[in-house]
Homo-oligomer: A and B are copies of this chain.
Amino acid sequence: MSTTSPQSTPRINVTQVGDALLGRWKAERLESRALASDPRLHTIPGQPMAEHRERALSQLGILVENGAIQRAFPSDLGGADNHGGNIAAFQELVLADPSMQIKGGVQWGLFGAAILHLGTRAHHEAWLPDVISLKLPGAFAMTEIGHGSDVASIGTTATYDEATEEFEIHTPFAGAWKEFLGNAALHGQAAVVFAQLITKGVNHGVHAFFVPIRTPAGDMLPGIGSEDDGVKGGLNGIDNGRLHFTHVRIPRTNLLNRYGDVAADGSYSSSIDSPGRRFFTMIGTLVQGRVSLDGSAVRAMQAALTIAITYGSQRRQFPGASGRETVLLDYGQHQRRLIPRLAQSYAMAFADEKLLTVFDEVFSGARDTAENREDLETLAAAFKPLSTWAALDTLQETREACGGAGFIAKNRFTSLRADLDIYVTFEGDNNVLLQLVGKRLLKDYAAQFAGGDKAALAKAAATQLGDKVSRFGLRQMGQSIADLGQVSRSVESVRAPEAQRALLADRVETMVAEVALALREAGKGIPREQKQARAIAQEAAFNAQQHKLIAAARAHAELLQWEAFTEALEGITDADSKRVLTWLRDLFGLGLIEEHAAWYLIAGRMSAHRAEAVTAYIDRLIGRLRDQSLDLVAAFGLTPELLRAEIATGIEAERQAEAQAYVEGERAAGRWPIHEKELRSKAKAARKAETAVG
Q: How far is the CA of A538 from the CA of B396 in the complex (A)?
A: 31
Interface residues of A in 391-427 (CB under 8 A from B): 392, 396, 399-400, 403-404, 406-410, 413-415, 417-418, 421-422, 424-426
Judged by a CB distance under 8 angstroms, whether A49 is at the interface is: yes
**Beta-carbon nearest neighbor of A601 in chain B:** B601
Contact present for A46 and B49 (CB under 8 Å): yes
Judged by a CB distance under 8 angstroms, whether A550 is at the interface is: yes
Indicate the member of A322, A546, A602 with the most B CB atoms within 10 Å: A602
Contact present for B331 and A619 (CB under 8 Å): no
Q: How far is the CA of A546 from the CA of B354 in the complex (A)?
A: 38
Interface residues of A in 263-310 (CB under 8 A from B): 268, 275-276
Judged by a CB distance under 8 angstroms, whether A253 is at the interface is: no
Judged by a CB distance under 8 angstroms, whether A153 is at the interface is: yes
Judged by a CB distance under 8 angstroms, whether A690 is at the interface is: no
Q: Select A175's contact among B231, B408, B658, beta carbons within 8 Å.
A: B658
Contact present for A673 and B408 (CB under 8 Å): no
Q: A48-B46, A333-B431, A601-B602 are in contact. Are A662 and B544 (CB under 8 A)?
A: no
Judged by a CB distance under 8 angstroms, whether A471 is at the interface is: yes
Q: How far is the CA of A429 from the CA of B402 in the complex (A)?
A: 10
Q: A148-B317, A275-B676 are in contact. List 15 more A-B contacts (CB 8 A).
A: A46-B230, A46-B231, A147-B317, A150-B317, A202-B676, A205-B677, A233-B413, A233-B415, A233-B417, A392-B396, A400-B429, A404-B426, A414-B418, A597-B601, A604-B608
Q: How far is the CA of A317 from the CA of B471 in the complex (A)?
A: 40
A196 CB to nearest B CB, Å: 8
Q: Select A179's contact among B146, B176, B404, B538, beta carbons within 8 Å.
A: B404
Judged by a CB distance under 8 angstroms, whether A689 is at the interface is: no
**Beta-carbon nearest neighbor of A542 in chain B:** B332
Q: Which residues of B contact A425 (CB under 8 A)?
A: 400, 403-404, 406-407
Q: Select A153's contact among B319, B415, B421, B422, beta carbons within 8 Å.
A: B319
Q: How far is the CA of A550 from the CA of B334 in the complex (A)?
A: 12
Q: A543-B332, A677-B275 are in contact. Are A655 and B145 (CB under 8 A)?
A: yes
Q: How far is the CA of A674 from the CA of B275 in the complex (A)?
A: 13
Quickly give the copy total for this chain. Answer: 2
Q: How far is the CA of A129 from the CA of B387 in the complex (A)?
A: 54
**Beta-carbon nearest neighbor of A596 in chain B:** B598
**Beta-carbon nearest neighbor of A320 in chain B:** B539
Judged by a CB distance under 8 angstroms, whether A532 is at the interface is: yes
Q: Select A45's contact among B153, B231, B539, beta carbons within 8 Å.
A: B231
**Beta-carbon nearest neighbor of A335 in chain B:** B547
Judged by a CB distance under 8 angstroms, whether A484 is at the interface is: yes
Judged by a CB distance under 8 angstroms, whether A104 is at the interface is: no
Judged by a CB distance under 8 angstroms, whether A685 is at the interface is: no
Main secondary structure of the interface of A (DSSP, over half): helix
Q: Which residues of B contact A493 (CB under 8 A)?
A: none
Q: How far is the CA of A148 from the CA of B400 in the complex (A)?
A: 13
A10 CB to nearest B CB, Å: 23
A166 CB to nearest B CB, Å: 17
Judged by a CB distance under 8 angstroms, whether A528 is at the interface is: no
Contact present for A655 and B146 (CB under 8 Å): yes
Q: How far is the CA of A102 from the CA of B173 in the complex (A)?
A: 43
Q: Which residues of B contact A544 (CB under 8 A)?
A: 332, 619
Contact present for B658 and A532 (CB under 8 Å): no
Judged by a CB distance under 8 angstroms, whether A27 is at the interface is: no
Q: Which residues of B contact A322 (CB under 8 A)?
A: 532, 536
Contact present for A321 and B535 (CB under 8 Å): yes
Indicate the member of A472, A481, A619 with the most B CB atoms within 10 Å: A472
Contact present for A550 and B46 (CB under 8 Å): no
Judged by a CB distance under 8 angstroms, whether A15 is at the interface is: no
Q: Which residues of B contact A345 (CB under 8 A)?
A: none
Judged by a CB distance under 8 angstroms, whether A107 is at the interface is: no
A42 CB to nearest B CB, Å: 14
Q: Select A547's contact among B336, B404, B540, beta carbons within 8 Å.
A: B336
Q: Which residues of B contact A231 (CB under 8 A)?
A: 45-46, 408-410
Interface residues of A in 312-352 (CB under 8 A from B): 317-323, 325, 330-333, 336
Q: Select A330's contact among B429, B481, B543, B676, beta carbons within 8 Å.
A: B543
Q: Select A675's contact among B149, B202, B550, beta carbons within 8 Å.
A: B202
Q: How far is the CA of A229 from the CA of B45 in the complex (A)?
A: 12
Q: A174-B655, A676-B202 are in contact. Are A532 and B321 (CB under 8 A)?
A: yes
Contact present for A659 and B532 (CB under 8 Å): no
Q: How far is the CA of A595 from the CA of B424 in the complex (A)?
A: 24
Q: Which residues of B contact A332 (CB under 8 A)?
A: 543-547
Contact present for B392 and A407 (CB under 8 Å): no
Contact present for B400 and A424 (CB under 8 Å): yes
